[in-house]
Amino acid sequence: MSTKELLSLFLFITISITGLSQADFNPNNMKWMKDWTSFAPNNTTYPRYDEQLPNIINKDTFLRNDIVYFMSGDIYVTNNATLTIQEGTLIKADTEKPTNLVVTKGAKLIADGTKASPIVFTSNKSRNSRKSGDWGGITIIGSGKANTIEGEGIIKGKFNPLYTIFGGNDINEETTVLRYVRIEYAGKSTNGLSLYALGNTSIVENIMISYSADDSFEWHGGASTSKNLISYKANDDDFDFTQGYRGELINILAIKHPYITSDNGSYAIEVDGYNKNLGFGKSKILSSIDITGATLITLVDESNYNHSRAAISINNLGELYLNNSNISGFSDVVKLDKTFSTLRMIETAFKLDNSFFNVHNEGVVTQNNIKDDTFNLLKYNRFTKTFQQPEEIFSAPLDSANPDFTLKNSLNNYMVVQ
């Protein structure tokens, strides 16, 4: 008997209470997505660029929204300079050579868009010809804490070694301010947005990353809080955490496609307690993340759902607490690697609360083949008795322009793990 069949033995079905609205039961409200997102960026015609940015920005610089900017090659913000980008500004990236924006340690990026006028980083290719990995991405390097043995590290990618050190002890640093920013068709040899050791006063809010060829978001250390983040059809992981990141995320959306994945497979959320290739001091803290309001979706149907894998991967003693969330289309809710050798360790590493899941396999997968009672990790959460397609569960999940992942039915229409 499978775990999902065992779960059915412990369920009860509660009928929705008359007089209460769906909102009273729905754990995730998607209104925060409206008016600043774009789910069909390849249909957008962007104007030609007016001005090319220098490859070294070593003094305070302001980018205006009446000019379209062009990045060609790696752009480094250095010398403690601040790069400020006005709301509504468009920055296009060269697709013929590796192109990244790298904000070095001590420097600062203030990209403070608005709902009506978001800041957009995108490919320089024309409409309907852009693709994943057209350019690199944005890397922001902070002075906060990381759990490498030395407390510092080297950022990933082929960058000038003068500008690649991250980490330190400035836990209160305001490393960056990012609000209402869209990053499109990035991920060439790096991630859409890489955040290294951000200080805890940094602001990362209302960010949408579309069609990244690598991870959409990746945190290395730091202790910041982020909210209203969207990863749309990334090739690799949507939200990746490592090297002692300890923070909170509020309202995140990952939309995956069953045929878009990396060679090693990809997850909506991947947590690594530490980077095993760089070493880990026992006195250092492990990555530990709290997420409220996650919607993790793979757009599968009856013909291709077997191509999906677990929504979440937890490795190297990482920890994740997920609540008020929806998970749908994946084979399982969570997969844990061989560093979790006992049920007690697993129970410490992963907690799911007040959430809903629609998966087609066991629910929990462990590399050490720990099966007894692992379904208790999902206790008190709601789930579907049989696997359902996204349009059966959500309001408008297949709308190409304005998808809506609000649950059609109240949570009380689904089974609960007792």
DSSP state of 392: H
8 A C-beta contact, residue 375 and residue 357: no
* Residue 162, phi then psi, degrees to nearest 5: -65, -20
DSSP 263-329: TT---SEEEESS-TTT---TTSPPPEEEEEEEEEEE---TTTGGG---SEEEETT-EEEEES-EEES
Q: Domain containing 382: what range? A: 3-416
Q: Where are the beta strands (DSSP E) in 47-175?
A: 51-52, 56-57, 61-63, 69-71, 75-77, 82-85, 90-93, 100-103, 108-112, 119-123, 137-141, 153-154, 165-166
pLDDT of residue 13: 33
- Report the Cα 381 to chain-centroid distance in Å: 22
- Across the chain, which has 418 residues, the per-10-residue mean pLDDT values are 45 33 51 95 97 98 98 98 98 97 98 98 98 98 93 94 96 97 97 98 98 97 96 96 96 89 83 86 84 95 82 97 96 95 92 95 86 77 92 92 91 85
Whole-number Å distance between alpha carbons of 143 and 158 = 21
pLDDT of residue 150: 84
Residues whose CB falls within 8 Å of the CB of residue 200, separated by 6 or more in sequence, listed in order = 144, 171, 172, 173, 222, 223, 224, 225, 247
The total number of structural domains that make up the chain: 1
For residue 207, give the CATH number of its domain.
2.160.20
First to last CA, the chain: 18
The burial of 9, by beta-carbon neighbours within 10 Å (0-12 exposed, 13-18 middle, 19 or more buried), is given as exposed
pLDDT of residue 28: 56
pLDDT of residue 20: 33
Whole-number Å distance between alpha carbons of 238 and 11 = 31
Taking alpha carbons only, the member of 351, 356, 299, 300 closest to residue 326 is 356
8 A C-beta contact, residue 396 and residue 390: no
Whole-number Å distance between alpha carbons of 346 and 344 = 5
pLDDT of residue 375: 66
- Report the Cα 334 to chain-centroid distance in Å: 16
